[in-house]
Structure 1
Amino acid sequence: MLLSMTGYGRATNNWEDKTILVEVRSLNSKYTDLRLRCSQNLREKEAQLRKMVTDFAHRGKLEMSIDITSHLGDDQFGLNVPLFKKYFSALSELSTEFDYEDKTLMSAILRLPNVAASSDGEMSKEEWKAITDTISAALEKFQAFREQEGAATANDLTERVNTISGLLEQVSPHEQDRVEAIRDRLYRSLDDKMGKDRIDESRYEQEVLFYLEKMDINEEKMRLAQHCEYFLEVLNNKTQAKGRKLSFISQEIGREINTLGAKAYSSNIQRLVVGMKDELEKIKEQTANIV
């Protein structure tokens, strides 16, 4: 099973006179990073909330919001009256001292820290359970979204890796042609410089063997085929977090493709290598968004 790093889940729950709304979303990221938005009375539970989400999501740039709304609307606002009076008294004295009249003083004080805030009160065990149940429901929908995206990505990756394997199989028919081409090129070069009568056949064969060793791509072909096979094996295993491993394997695939291109000495093989590189770039883009 493959999981996309991009996901979204939303769940609501009516508990007593309150509505609990939880939203979870994620984007691709190399690391796990959670931005949590919740009411003040949930801050003491922040460590548990973070662990609950990050353990489930594994990796990605995550954001979770928890909104709790009262149907009665009578517990959503609190005013710190003593603090408000202190601010008002001090600022009024300064206004008089500087002969400055400010009609927005009241609203300005309300924006100061700790003056106005939601009066959430203490949380009961029952309310905490209702909240965690809602989070679990949102995470299940979040997971379903990522599984759906991951399945489409897995199909695309399988097709592209198989395309690379198919292009690799097309390399072999062109190998003998490039051997003959290098023989002809070396012979013409010696003929131009020395003339046919002065060509040392023994030295000529040594030069051909030297170039053939440099041109040998059997190891690259074998390793590339193995990497493609291993990529599909990891892609289809039951592990959820496999994005990093697939990224590492794609780097190894790229290394063998580059070496194959450098040792090709054949325009036909080079065209096949270009096709492999094009597929590999699309594979890298996809693996960057896998958990």
Structure 2
Amino acid sequence: MLQSMTGYGSARLDADQYSIVVEIRSLNSKGMDLSVRVPRFLTDKEYEIRNLVTKALVRGKVSVCIDYTRNKAQKAKSTINNELLTAYYNELSAAASKLGASQNELFRLALHMPDVLQQDQAEEENADAGWDVIQPLFQEALSNISTFRADEGKALTAEIMSYIDRIRILLAEVEKHDPVRMEQIRNRIKGHLTEIANAEYFDQNRFEQEMIYYMEKLDIAEEKVRLINHLHYFTETVYLPEPTGKKLGFISQEIGREINTIGSKANDATIQHLVVEMKEELEKIKEQINNIL
């Protein structure tokens, strides 16, 4: 069954000390284009995360975001570097005096200078414990996006197969009209034969050879058989268990080649109109295949 490359999966945990949100999004892409954004304490887990995502999702433009937020009580656990605060304040005060500027906001400015407020380092210290908690959430989000892709794939399968069925119907119309086309061609040839037979010079052997060549050039029997076979192969491939998006793309090219050849050889307005409709259905298939895993 087909799977879509478009998907979304998430998982969330709200605890007393922190909140964790894992989000995974994917769009269509020719290969695996993966971006990962994680908290600093999970940097050493990024390689593992990439491997898990690549194995599960195979292909697509995928973004992984793990957001780890401490609650307000935890955020309050910070200390002031008094020495650094004093140094900043003195420098700012000296600069304000030199420039004749107001000193009303100097303390606030100094307090927000780099490294004055130092956060509790517990987050970094508990990196291993943090991953133990986050890993199940990550797996849950990965499972959710896989389910999303599978559900989208079912809808894509139904849509694409409706286009394939439409091509089959149009091909049946070509098959029905082909004897009429060939009879019209024979009548035209007979008319030309009468004109040629009345000419002063007429080479019967050469004429027969050219007629055989002409009829072979107009014969679309092989193209119809190959097109039917390609449609069957496409249908079989759709229901294979492994990812088949690229293979379906190649089969679509072969389907298009046979449709184009039928159109160029038909020399008949009715069949050419049917060929145009088949091309329209094939273009719809190609558009959807771009989003198939």
Show the counterpart of 1:57.
57
Cα distance change, pair 257–113 in 1 and its aligned pair in 2 (3 A) = farther
Return the index of the structure with the highest Cα Rg: 2
For the 8 Å contact 1:227–1:252, the answer to whether it is kept is yes
Cα distance, 1:178 vs structure 2: 2.6
- 1:85-234 correspondence runs (5 A): 88=88, 92=92, 99=99, 119=121, 120-189=123-192, 196=198, 198=200, 202-234=205-237
For the 8 Å contact 1:30–1:60, the answer to whether it is kept is yes
For the 8 Å contact 1:34–1:50, the answer to whether it is kept is yes
Cα distance, 1:225 vs structure 2: 1.1
Unpaired segments of 5 or more residues in structure 2?
A: none
For the 8 Å contact 2:85–2:116, the answer to whether it is kept is no
Which residue of 256, 264, 283 corresponds with 2:285?
Answer: 283
For the 8 Å contact 1:182–1:208, the answer to whether it is kept is no
State which drifts further: 89-98 or 160-169: 89-98
Cα distance change, pair 220–74 in 1 and its aligned pair in 2 (3 A) = same
SS of 2:164's equivalent? helix
For the 8 Å contact 2:17–2:74, the answer to whether it is kept is no
Show the counterpart of 1:12.
12
Report how many residues are paired.
Answer: 289
| Matched residue type, 2:49 | L
For the 8 Å contact 1:160–1:279, the answer to whether it is kept is yes
Show the counterpart of 2:74.
74
Deviations 1:168-190 (A, max 9, x none): 22222322333333333345456
Task: Output the CA distance in 2 between the equivalents of 1:285 and 1:87.
Answer: 64
Cα distance, 1:131 vs structure 2: 0.5
Cα distance, 1:152 vs structure 2: 0.6
For the 8 Å contact 1:4–1:290, the answer to whether it is kept is yes
Cα distance change, pair 88–111 in 1 and its aligned pair in 2 (3 A) = closer
Task: Output the CA distance in 1 between the equivalents of 2:77 and 2:214.
Answer: 83
Q: Does 1:266 align with 2:268?
A: yes
Aligned-residue identity in percent? 38
Task: Output the CA distance in 1 between the equivalents of 2:253 and 2:110.
Answer: 57
Deviations 1:239-260 (A, max 9, x none): 1x21111111111111111111
Cα distance change, pair 190–55 in 1 and its aligned pair in 2 (3 A) = same
For the 8 Å contact 1:2–1:150, the answer to whether it is kept is yes
- The Cα RMSD (Å) is 3.5
Deviations 1:147-196 (A, max 9, x none): 1111010011111112212222222232233333333334545666x573
State which drifts further: 121-130 or 271-280: 121-130
Show the counterpart of 1:22.
22
Deviations 1:217-264 (A, max 9, x none): 22211221111111111101111x211111111111111111111111
Show the counterpart of 1:247.
249
Unpaired segments of 5 or more residues in structure 1?
A: none
Cα distance, 1:83 vs structure 2: 11
Cα distance, 1:102 vs structure 2: 9.4
Cα distance change, pair 84–258 in 1 and its aligned pair in 2 (3 A) = farther
Task: Output the CA distance in 1 between the equivalents of 2:3 and 2:245.
Answer: 9
Cα distance, 1:113 vs structure 2: 10
SS of 1:130's equivalent? helix
For the 8 Å contact 1:87–1:109, the answer to whether it is kept is no
Cα distance change, pair 49–183 in 1 and its aligned pair in 2 (3 A) = same
Show the counterpart of 1:46.
46
State which drifts further: 171-180 or 19-28: 171-180
SS of 1:263's equivalent? helix
SS of 1:273's equivalent? helix
Q: TM-score, normalised by structure 1?
A: 0.83
